Chains A and B, each alone.
Chain A
Amino acid sequence: MILPDYYEFCCRVKIVAGHDALEKIPALLADMGSKKPLIITDKGVAAAGLVDIVVNALKDGIAIGGIADNVPPDSDLRVVNQLAGLYRDNGCDAIIAVGGGSVMDTAKGVNIVVSENATDLMAFSGAGALKRRLKPLVAVPTTAGTGSEVTLVAVIKDHEKHLKMAFTSYFLLPNVSILDSRMTMTMPPFITAMTGMDALSHAVEGYYCLQKNPLSDAHSLAAVNMIFKYLPAVTKNPSDKDGRLAMAIAACLAGISFSNSMVGLVHNLGHATGAVCGAPHGICMATILPYGLEYNMHKREEIIAELLLPMAGEAVYLKTPKQERAQKVASLIREMNQELNALTGGRHPRCLQEIKDRDGKPLVPREILPEIAKAALSDGASIYNPEDTDYEDNLMVLEAAWEGKPLDRSKVKKG
């Protein structure tokens, strides 16, 4: 295990996992001195019946101070302020966030406003502007993918002023994350596959990017193992309770890893693809991941090879000669995409050219790749990538990911 010359690692979130983890929330809130939580969620989560499950699990143990399900897909300062008003009017003393990234961001924003009595959220933006603990925040993720239940950042948009505010502080970490199999049980196979691959990209990039450290490594290895074991199973059989719980745990492990080790080229290109084409994040991650690995392989071959055993198990590991293990890791991720493609009746794309919108129209036409490659230059994720990248590199990786063909590694400029 590599001990870097210097590293930092932190995840102070209490993890509570199980098939009945939601029922533990009242006692957990009581431990933190809270009696009246505000539930923050979005309409999609509510419509899927997930808020009802949460409310049923809580109702005998605690008084709920309100349920707000109006979080938009893109976080919004106005909603943050409105929910902070609701929190105060109803005399709430804690927040339960039920949902994905936008719900978590919004809940964190509300928490800053109500804890700091802030009138101007902007005053707390940036890194380290928060100096003390906020009100108790319980995160209940409803996808097994983003890891946002264990991250210390929040992004809130001020749509009126066209501002994007980013907040980074350990005080933004939720106090508790609840990983309950019931929250992902109704997720359709296509979403299951894409969010699971998002988690895999966190675990894998977290394992080879520059800020990797012994603890992020250990979280990544566990996550990779669980994702390869359970993702096809839950995509095939959505009501596999144990598999759902395992995937929720795996995504959380991966979230802890990447939020400490940071991510690299795959996220860099994935963010840009999402921004330019509107392609869903998880799909971008799934389709670009094997090629990002191949791009970095000359610098990280031994490290990437270490993923083979947890990924594929003993038989494949022993059968694969040492010098081919890293390449095998990349191939296995392609094979995973292939398997998920079959399990979702072709909906899970194997490469960028297969990403389509609701009407079946390709979302990432080949001619847009140069624009993506350019947009990626202004994304911060590349800082932590093992190999330096430039426009041509970005384009080369995107082309390979578009076609779904292994990267010609002889063309990689070795820095």
Chain B
Amino acid sequence: MNLTNGFAFTCPFKTNSGNKALEHLPVELASLNAFKPLIITGRDLAGRNSIRTLTHAFGDSGMTLGLFDDIRNTADLNVVEQIRDFFFKGQYDSIIALGGGVIVDVAKTVNLAAALKTTDARQLSEKTAIPDPLGPFVFVPTASVTGMETSKYAVLNKKTFVSMSLMPDLVVLDPRLTKVKDGKTIAEAGLAALGRTLEACAAPDANPFMDAYALAALRFIRENLVGAINHCGNKKAALAIANAAAMSGCVISNTDRNVLYRLGQIFQNVVHVHPGVVIGMCLNTVLSDYMKQDSRLVSVLLRPLTTEDEYASTPEDKRADRALDTLNKFMNELYGALKGKMPRTIQEAGIPRYLMDDIFDVINQEPDGAYLRTVIDRAGSSSVKS
């Protein structure tokens, strides 16, 4: 890590994690000067039980809650405008996004639209100047997350809004909501966080503050992800992965041009595949490229990927190779635990040729499109189904 060039780092959100974390919400909202929150969620995506658990947590706090629970995967800026209208008419003063993925993209964009009082949400463009601060914004994840919920990005209608002010003020991780029903859901979340965070640590612009979040996230993933897949009832392991996913959003917001992040987004936007699936496929290829560039970039990954003893006993010049070996072993174990429920290559994913062409169209518009394409090729698109 080279500090001489200087750096900037921000993590605007507070993390509350653990038993009865939701019950702290009234006090936390009051400390943000918020007393009438609107819950934005999807009853099918986040589940009715989650909504019930969240609303019950307000008990006799006296707070008035609003609920918009009709976010679906197809949500767009029209929905944002609809919720913005609901937000104003109900005179809400804050937003609680319950769930993950598209729900949070919508909720962040509603927060933006609500701050831009005169703008119709449908008119929002990537050029819209994003105010700082926006209104109080709380994110309450369920198990089904992408890790981007806590980030500075919001993506809707193929538009990407970017600002640190889009990040939540507070993230509430409650084991009643982050528990999982199937291994695939948690594997997707874990892989997305793992890949983006590992690449961020290897990148030349890493800094110690970002690294602190990354280290905590990576250790949680290493110690809990396979267990969480094998034992879906393990609430603590699932909570650890939810923590890691939330931390990874902070990491990704403090680094630039992360290849795995961008590939994950492109596949998600074009073919609606969870970014974790794609990141899992491309992780080894991208890190091997970092290795070719400078093995020291990869050698720093050994510490979060292994035990203190193994790290200490590995000579410095062997750390990069050992880091990749350790990662490969971990990935094999993980895919093994998934028992074929997640494709390991793009070929296995069975993405039809015409959709791959759409993906390549988007990739070609990226400044390093030629490189990204080689990553995809090596991750197994050469024999996609026609």
Contact = CB atoms under 8 A, between A and B. Distances in A.
A5 B20 CA distance: 9
A253 to B, nearest CB: 6
Interface in A128-146: 128, 131-133
B15 interface: yes
Nearest to B10: A14
A27 to B, nearest CB: 11
B270 interface: no
A18 B208 contact: no
Contacts of A16: 6-8
Contacts of A11: 11
A3 B18 CA distance: 9
A367 interface: no
B215 A218 contact: yes
A5 B17 CA distance: 8
A242 B2 CA distance: 10
Interface in B96-122: none
A226 B212 CA distance: 13
A17 interface: yes
B208 A253 contact: yes
B16 interface: yes
Interface string A1-31: 1011111111111111111110010000001
Contacts of B13: 10, 12
Contacts of B30: 128, 131
A217 B132 CA distance: 30
A218 B6 CA distance: 21
A219 B212 contact: yes
Contacts of B240: 3
B19 interface: yes
Nearest to A14: B10
Contacts of A13: 10
B3 A242 contact: yes
- What range describes how many residues of A lie at the interface? 35 or more
Given A3-B220, A215-B247, A318-B313, A221 B3 contact: no
Contacts of B213: 215, 218
A39 B213 CA distance: 32
Interface string B237-260: 001100100010000000000000
Contacts of B133: 133
Contacts of B31: 128, 131, 169-170
A9 B211 contact: no
Nearest to A18: B6
A1 B218 CA distance: 10
A249 interface: yes
B236 interface: yes
A370 interface: no
Interface string A197-222: 00000000000000001110111011
A8 B6 contact: no
Contact of B11 (A1, A12, A221, A246): A12
A249 B3 contact: yes
B207 interface: yes
B7 A3 contact: no
B207 A17 contact: yes
B4 A245 contact: yes
Contacts of B243: 3, 214
A48 interface: no
B31 to A, nearest CB: 5
A314 interface: yes
Interface residues of B, number: 44
Q: Which of A10, A217, A253 has the most CB of B within 10 A?
A: A10
B238 to A, nearest CB: 11
Nearest to A257: B212
Contacts of A1: 216, 219-220, 223
A306 interface: yes
B3 A309 contact: no
B14 interface: yes
B308 A222 contact: no
A403 B311 CA distance: 37
A32 interface: yes
B212 A21 contact: no
Given A4-B18, A222-B208, A249-B3, A14 B216 contact: no
A221 B214 CA distance: 13
Contacts of B11: 11-12
A32 B132 contact: yes
B19 A6 contact: yes
Contacts of B312: 309, 314, 317-318
Contacts of B4: 18-19, 242, 245
A318 B314 CA distance: 11
Given A3-B236, A309-B308, A226 B208 contact: yes
B173 to A, nearest CB: 10
A157 B133 CA distance: 32
Q: Which of A12, A128, A214, A253 has the most CB of B within 10 A?
A: A214
Contact of A12 (B5, B12, B207): B12
A8 B170 CA distance: 10
Given A12-B14, A226-B208, 5 more contacts: A3-B220, A14-B9, A15-B8, A213-B17, A317-B312
Interface of B: 3-21, 30-31, 33, 132-133, 207-209, 211-213, 215-216, 219-220, 223, 236, 239-240, 243, 247, 308, 311-313
30 contacts: A1-B216, A3-B220, A4-B18, A7-B17, A7-B18, A11-B11, A12-B12, A15-B8, A15-B9, A16-B6, A17-B7, A17-B9, A18-B3, A18-B5, A18-B6, A19-B4, A20-B6, A24-B8, A133-B133, A213-B17, A214-B243, A218-B216, A222-B208, A222-B211, A242-B4, A249-B3, A253-B208, A314-B312, A317-B312, A318-B312
Report the 10 A-B pairs with minimum CB-CB distance, sorted nearest first. Answer: A18-B6, A6-B18, A10-B14, A218-B212, A1-B219, A314-B312, A14-B10, A214-B216, A131-B33, A218-B216
